[in-house]
Amino acid sequence: MTFITENLAKEKSFRDPIHGSIVVDNQIILDLINTPEMQRLRRVKQLGTTSLVFHGAEHSRFGHSLGAYELARRICNHLQRNYPTQTPGDGLWDEHERPVVLCAALLHDLGHGPYSHTFEHIFNTDHEQITRQIITGSTHVNQILRRVSPTFPDQVASVIDHTYPNPQVVQLISSQVDVDRIDYLQRDAYYTGANYGLVDLDRLLEVMHPYAGGIAFEMSGMHAIEDYIVSRLQMYLQVYFHPVTRSLEVILDHLLMRARELYEDPQVQTSFEPELLRPFFNNDFTLDDYLALDDGVLTTYFQHWTHANDPILRDLANRFLNRQPLKSVVYDDTTASVLPVLRQLIDEAGFDSHYYTDTNASYKLPYDTYRPLETNPQTQIELIQPNGELVELSTQSRLVQSVSGHKQGDMRFFFPKELLTTDNQGELFDPIYTAFQAHLQNNTIIK
C-alpha cells in the first residue's frame, strides 16, 4: 500500500460553505482533484433544472464530490478512533480501507453528464457505467489511482459497483445513509435555502457503528436517523419533485428529442452543426466525446437552435433558455382517462401535443425494509443495541414505521400555460380553453 507514503507533511484545505474546511492530507487525493475529469464536474450543475426554480441552487457536482470525500474522511477518523479492529473478522474498522473509501467518495459522480437524468433518457447513457470507465480506463484519474497499486482502480470501481468484499466500505458509499446522500442533502438545503433539509450532521456521523455486515447506528442515535429520513423526504417532495422543475425537464426532454428527430431526418437541412453532440446522435461515442460535454455545451447549442428553421425546435429552445415552463395538474388512475381528451383539445388549440404535453410520475419511497425480491431493493437501516444486538430501524421507530413502504409523490400532466388563459384577448380559442379548463379544479384533473 503506497497510499500512506503519499501523505502530505502538511494538510491542505478547501473552504467549503457546508463543511467549513475540506481537508486533504494525501497527494493522491490532491492529484485526483486536479484531473480534467474531476474539474469537468465544475461545469455540470448538481441539480440541473432545479436551479431554474430555486435560483440559489446553481452549485456544481464538483463541490458535492469534495463534500462526499470530506464526510468519508471524517467517518474514517471516527471509526478508527472508536472502533479499530483488534483481530481479523471482529467486525470492527480496518484502517487499510481508508484509501478505497476516500477515493470512491471523491470519484463517485465522475460519470455524470449535463442534465444527467434527461440526457440519459434521450441518449441511453448510464452515468454509473461511465464512472467506472473513467476510473478503470485510460484517463488521468486512472493513472493516479495506479500509484496506489495496479489493482486499486478496479477496487475503487468495485465499491461503486457494490461488489467490493467489505460491506462496511460499500455502505459508506452507497446505502440509505451514505456520504453521497448526506452531502447532497445538506448541500442542496444550503443552496436552495431550504433549512428543512438540514440534519444533525455531527450526530449522524458520531453514532455510526461498524459491524460484520456493514455500518449500523447506535440506538441512542435513532432520532437523528428519523430526522434524516424525514428531511430527505421533504427535500424530495418540496425541491426535487417541484412541479416546475419537472416541467422544465419535460421541455428539455422534448427539445433534445426533437433535435434528434431532425438530425435523423434526411429531409431536413439543419442550419446548425451540433458538433460535440453528433457522436451521441449517432449512438457512437467515445469516453473523450462524453467528457467534452457539460451544461454550457448544451445551452450553447440551444442558443443556436433558437435560430433554427424548425418552429418547434426553435420554440422549445426558447422556452428552456428563457424559463417558460409548462403548467401542470395532478391526476390519478381514476382520472387518467381524461388525458386523451385534454391532449385532443391542446392539439385543437394549435399545440402539437406530442411536443407540448407529457406526463410524469415522481414517487419517493421514504424507507423500507430490505426486500430482496424487488427490483432495486433498498438497503435497510440497522440499529445496534448496547449489548450488540441489531434491530431493524422501523421496528423501533414509530415515525419510520408509519412512512415505511409507502411511496409519496404524485402523477402530473404538463401542458402549455396558454390553455389557462381566461381573459378575452384570445377570443379565437376561447371555446377550446373553456372546454379544457372545465376538466380542472384545484390544480387537479376531474372527471
Q: How far is the CB of 298 from a copy of itself (least distance, A)?
A: 8
* Inter-axis angle of helices 311-321 and 295-305, nearest 10: 130
Q: How far is the CB of 158 from a copy of itself (least distance, A)?
A: 28
Q: How far apart are CA 199 and CA 175, in angstroms?
A: 17
Considering beta carbons, is residue 86 or 267 the nearer one to a copy of itself? Answer: 86
Considering beta carbons, is residue 159 or 207 the nearer one to a copy of itself? Answer: 207
Q: In 3-state terms, what secondary structure has residue 330?
A: strand
Considering beta carbons, is residue 34 or 422 the nearer one to a copy of itself? Answer: 34
Q: How far is the CB of 92 from a copy of itself (least distance, A)?
A: 12
* DSSP symbols for 115-177: THHHHHHHH---HHHHHHHHHHSSSHHHHHHTTT-TTHHHHHHHHHHT--S-HHHHHHHSSTT
Q: How far is the CB of 203 from a copy of itself (least distance, A)?
A: 7
Q: Could you give phi then psi for residue 106, rounded to 5 degrees? A: -65, -35
Four-CA torsion 266, 269, 272, 276, nearest 10 degrees: 10
Considering beta carbons, is residue 79 or 159 the nearer one to a copy of itself? Answer: 79
Contact 194, 54 (CB under 8 A): yes
| Cell 433539509 -> residue | 197
Count Cβ atoms below 10 Å from residue 342 Cβ, excluding itself.
21
Cβ-based burial of 258 (10 A; exposed 0-12, middle 13-18, buried ≥19): buried
Q: How far is the CB of 228 from a copy of itself (least distance, A)?
A: 9
DSSP state of 404: T
Considering beta carbons, is residue 51 or 247 the nearer one to a copy of itself? Answer: 51
Considering beta carbons, is residue 318 or 344 the nearer one to a copy of itself? Answer: 318
Considering beta carbons, is residue 209 or 353 the nearer one to a copy of itself? Answer: 209
Considering beta carbons, is residue 34 or 151 the nearer one to a copy of itself? Answer: 34
Cβ-based burial of 423 (10 A; exposed 0-12, middle 13-18, buried ≥19): exposed
Rounded (5°) CA angle 238-62-139: 135
Give strand pairing partners of 80.
none
Q: How far is the CB of 58 from a copy of itself (least distance, A)?
A: 5
Q: Could you give phi then psi for residue 378, rounded to 5 degrees? A: -75, 145
Q: How far is the CB of 232 from a copy of itself (least distance, A)?
A: 12
Q: How far is the CB of 25 from a copy of itself (least distance, A)?
A: 7
Contact 413, 306 (CB under 8 A): no
Q: How far is the CB of 283 from a copy of itself (least distance, A)?
A: 21
Q: How far is the CB of 441 from a copy of itself (least distance, A)?
A: 7
The type of residue at 147 is R
Rounded (5°) CA angle 252-253-254: 95
